[in-house]
Structure 1
């Protein structure tokens, strides 16, 4: 039976409560979160600049709350692929969004958990008392990414710009005119870096070479891990194989994600989505455009995208290139009351983890969730809502299997037994990155928005947000609904 047909609202039973050592007056609270509709790259936002897309989230947040921008003390935004002219995109977006120029803003990058880092940076800013009202945000515009030229060409262009005479410039210009000098520099050799071998023989039986096209000793551009020269999709395929995740399981999970996202939109659950009006557009953009409710038959007909012929990861059970922005307001309960705002949830505790990017690239949640549970002295069964990033269906299912594995717990978490299985009726009930899309720098805030709003909708008390990220990174955050 497809997963989508087995979903039912959970009956919550809180076994234990979280106890904090942080003074209540300093506890950061989540007031509201918004986001632009997430769009397939090269569609509705393709003519925009990154700072403009982030501006929509910042303006949308202040308008949603009827908040004077001058009440904001601090802005932090996550992004992954930076436009050189607006490297600190948080600052540029804040300025055009009407936030006073006296308000500091910074941009953070941590791969797919960049806006998670923005949120936790705001939490710490509020906890410390350095700032009272902070905005955690994120943005990604894959429709317009910097295209690199070779290091040789860069050096010659820079040298030519410093030359004082034409005779000094000519040798450099002649070198640049030769197409043989246009190739990208060789991939950095990381073979000297010690990489321990890991638990499953299956992880070692596949080549770790990148799948990008190679010519001679030069590597042309591709989305690969710098330290391993392997694409994330190829790594996810190996991970799924190592944990015995079948193609059918992945397709079924992908269908579930799209079905639930479609249902959530039709039922008015996605209240964080803004209406975005952009120049040259006849109609406002009001919904995500990557949700596709398909069938298992159609999904099963797609060919493997990374390990041709033997792989299980396809375009249908992977997240896709997405443009989007998001933002949320974080303050204290006292300050929220002073501003006439009603906070929705307390942002309690968080952790970050890192693993070997060669064999454990996408296992962030399998490490972060147990670490967070230890920190808050709670069990998996105490959590009512889970929002986990869906980079690939195979990646998410592998993390769930790792959490439910005695072998993994004993060998890699130094625990006597497994953490447990996350119930499907608590997981990503409004869809996830597979269906809604994954703008790298904006997904983290979207996960927090969903977690908070689901707690309210489902009358739960605690939620955990967790995600993996490039570089073998991971994150988990505990959220507590106010009034639960």
Structure 2
């Protein structure tokens, strides 16, 4: 917004196009593609499908959560590896699972300020290509070996190493401040908030049922590109391979808990899987869209980010961010035609929904006289969520935005709320509007 809290004429940030790859389980169809390669594929295809001349783009904001061992600036690589002019400036963003919400609000802010007219936002992730690190002892020894002058010096350095020093170190999956994985934190949330296993499995079942129906109904055909599968390129990945059309509540109930084998409620069935994929959006100023004859899918109305102590309820960030985003939009939860809540875990979704509706939470945690309210299940994650569709960390937000705006159009709706929980006790909320 402008300095007086209003949007300057013609500067509203319009989402005019969006596209994603299929989201596939790590280690399957995209195991030979890096995050950078997946991102470049979707950006190239998005620019081509949009019909916008590449020279019209002036910025790229792109993200990645799990770092690549060879590429640190994925944003700039989206320019250098695609048909975009190399003069297009770019930067890279990481905000855990809310990364491509952040890339989109960054791009929207630049448009609002008049610093950009036509931008690409998005993110890509390859859990198949996650970096493997050396132990600190081995890394330090290798550095010193490169400086050693004699064979004697090299042998002396090598003699200080122990077998355990050669063990590969995968990326850390635990919160540094708590020592707990996200799944372990979600288990604690389920216990604290009284979230049952049956309720979690019901969320997972609905996610798969709705995602399968959306695919069968052709809803995703216009927003998911086809990707030839390397290395032989003899077949094409055309759909998400996580969706389980035939799953049942009984099948979900038969799965064993993962994080607390004895008393836990979180399983591989009611949690999002490790996923590879990429998604991107084109944003323009309202004036620019009009000048190019582009019809916006919708506009960024408002957003908010929030944080809480990770030692409390790690994934409860949406319950703190959503009220602020709605306040900034001048709207209420009841005004929303759709709500899309990222499904990291069914337990996290249910915990946040409970907080939304809790007068006690509103008073004690938010200092508000009334709760945000309850969400009509018929408006929530209507075409499935991350449990069924998959969750390539940096791509999920962009997937949610294009998926929600297209559904809003089908329903002739006006407003939608998106929320994402993220590592570190972070939360994001975004209000979209359509005219």
TM-score category (smaller protein): over 0.9
Query: Where in structure 2 are the equivalents of 1:166-205 lying within 5 Å?
Result: 166-176=151-161, 178-182=162-166
Look up the SS of the partner of 1:309 in the other structure: coil
Query: 2:198 matched to which residue of 1?
Result: 248
Look up the SS of the partner of 1:24 in the other structure: coil
Cα distance between partner residues in 2 of 1:71 and 1:111: 30
Are the equivalent residues in 1 in contact too, given 2:131–2:170 (CA < 8 A)?
Answer: no
Query: 2:111 matched to which residue of 1?
Result: 126
Asked if 1:68 is matched to 2:53, the reply is yes
Residue 78 of structure 1 deviates from its aligned partner by 1.4
Query: Where in structure 2 are the equivalents of 1:352-371 lying within 5 Å?
Result: 352-371=305-324
Are the equivalent residues in 1 in contact too, given 2:108–2:300 (CA < 8 A)?
Answer: yes
Residue 162 of structure 1 deviates from its aligned partner by 2.4
Of the three residues 281, 285, 297, the one matched with 2:233 is 281
Asked if 1:374 is matched to 2:365, the reply is no
Cα distance between partner residues in 2 of 1:32 and 1:88: 24
Are the equivalent residues in 2 in contact too, given 1:126–1:132 (CA < 8 A)?
Answer: yes
Query: Where in structure 2 are the equivalents of 1:60-459 lying within 5 Å?
Result: 60-176=45-161, 178-182=162-166, 222-270=172-220, 271-279=222-230, 280-293=232-245, 294-459=247-412
Instruction: After superposition, give the CA deviation of every residue in 1:323-364 in whole Å (9 maximum; x if it has no partner).
Output: 000000001121112223221211111111000111221001
Query: 1:199 matched to which residue of 2?
Result: none
Are the equivalent residues in 2 in contact too, given 1:368–1:475 (CA < 8 A)?
Answer: yes
Residue 20 of structure 1 deviates from its aligned partner by 6.7
Residue 266 of structure 1 deviates from its aligned partner by 0.7
Cα distance between partner residues in 1 of 2:237 and 2:254: 32
Cα distance between partner residues in 1 of 2:156 and 2:81: 44
Residue 377 of structure 1 deviates from its aligned partner by 2.6
- Are the structure 2 counterparts of residues 438 and 220 from structure 1 closer, same or farther at C-alpha, using a change threshold of 3 Å? closer
Look up the SS of the partner of 1:121 in the other structure: helix
- Are the structure 2 counterparts of residues 86 and 220 from structure 1 closer, same or farther at C-alpha, using a change threshold of 3 Å? closer
- Are the structure 2 counterparts of residues 220 and 432 from structure 1 closer, same or farther at C-alpha, using a change threshold of 3 Å? closer
Cα distance between partner residues in 2 of 1:131 and 1:425: 37
Query: 1:57 matched to which residue of 2?
Result: 42
Look up the SS of the partner of 1:425 in the other structure: helix
Cα distance between partner residues in 2 of 1:439 and 1:407: 34
What count of residue pairs does the alignment treat as equivalent?
429
Are the equivalent residues in 1 in contact too, given 2:11–2:287 (CA < 8 A)?
Answer: no
Look up the SS of the partner of 1:55 in the other structure: helix
- Are the structure 2 counterparts of residues 25 and 157 from structure 1 closer, same or farther at C-alpha, using a change threshold of 3 Å? same
Are the equivalent residues in 2 in contact too, given 1:183–1:220 (CA < 8 A)?
Answer: no
Cα distance between partner residues in 2 of 1:244 and 1:149: 41
Residue 95 of structure 1 deviates from its aligned partner by 1.3
Instruction: After superposition, give the CA deviation of every residue in 1:10-66 in whole Å (9 maximum; x if it has no partner).
Output: xxxxxxxxx971113111110011000000111111011221110111011111112
Look up the SS of the partner of 1:143 in the other structure: helix
Cα distance between partner residues in 1 of 2:327 and 2:402: 24
TM-score (norm 1): 0.86
Which region of structure 1 is more displaced relative to structure 2, 165-174 or 419-428? 165-174
Structure 1 gap ranges (5+): 1-18, 185-218
Look up the SS of the partner of 1:316 in the other structure: coil
Residue 465 of structure 1 deviates from its aligned partner by 1.0
Look up the SS of the partner of 1:429 in the other structure: coil
Residue 89 of structure 1 deviates from its aligned partner by 1.4
Instruction: After superposition, give the CA deviation of every residue in 1:214-255 in whole Å (9 maximum; x if it has no partner).
Output: xxxxx9865111111101001111101211111111101100
Cα distance between partner residues in 2 of 1:418 and 1:180: 52
Are the equivalent residues in 2 in contact too, given 1:175–1:181 (CA < 8 A)?
Answer: no
Cα distance between partner residues in 1 of 2:153 and 2:434: 67
- Are the structure 2 counterparts of residues 323 and 477 from structure 1 closer, same or farther at C-alpha, using a change threshold of 3 Å? same
Query: 1:206 matched to which residue of 2?
Result: none
Instruction: After superposition, give the CA deviation of every residue in 1:243-278 in whole Å (9 maximum; x if it has no partner).
Output: 111111110110000000000011111121111124
Cα distance between partner residues in 2 of 1:278 and 1:338: 38
Residue 175 of structure 1 deviates from its aligned partner by 2.3
Are the equivalent residues in 1 in contact too, given 2:302–2:326 (CA < 8 A)?
Answer: no
Are the equivalent residues in 2 in contact too, given 1:261–1:432 (CA < 8 A)?
Answer: yes
Instruction: After superposition, give the CA deviation of every residue in 1:147-185 in whole Å (9 maximum; x if it has no partner).
Output: 122111111111212233333333222223x3144468x
Query: Where in structure 2 are the equivalents of 1:459-470 lying within 5 Å?
Result: 459-470=412-423
TM-score (norm 2): 0.95
Which region of structure 1 is more displaced relative to structure 2, 277-286 or 411-420? 277-286
Query: 1:187 matched to which residue of 2?
Result: none
Structure 2 gap ranges (5+): none
